[in-house]
Amino acid sequence: MTKETKIIAGVLAGAALGAAIALILSSDKSDDLKNDVTDWFSDLLDSSKDKFASVSESVKDTVAHAKDSISNATDSITHAKESATDAVKDSISKVKG
């Protein structure tokens, strides 16, 4: 399937689903079905919000951990550079004597 074909198929499937839902919700005969579908969509929406919040929190935690790791690595590199610089200076001082 080409990209365009997939897009068209998705649009048609969405339109068909929308039409089916509209028919179900507009039917006067099935108030129970309307309520069931409404409850299902409400539950789906609530579940999606909960999952999004969970993923969002997880991403925030991961970013904070990455920032801490980068900060620690930067501090270690700075310390190593300073130690190396001091060692070179000491060696030069000893050679100059």
pLDDT at 3 over 80: no
The model's pLDDT over 28-56, given as tens digits with 9 standing for 90+, comes to 556 777 777 778 778 888 888 888 888 88
- The pLDDT of residue 61 is 92
pLDDT at 90 over 80: yes
Q: What DSSP designation does 2 have?
A: -
pLDDT at 1 over 70: no
DSSP for 15-82 reads: HHHHHHHHHHHH-SS-HHHHHHHHHHHHHHHHHHHHHHHHHHHHHHHHHHHHHHHHHHHHHHHHHHHH
- The pLDDT of residue 27 is 62
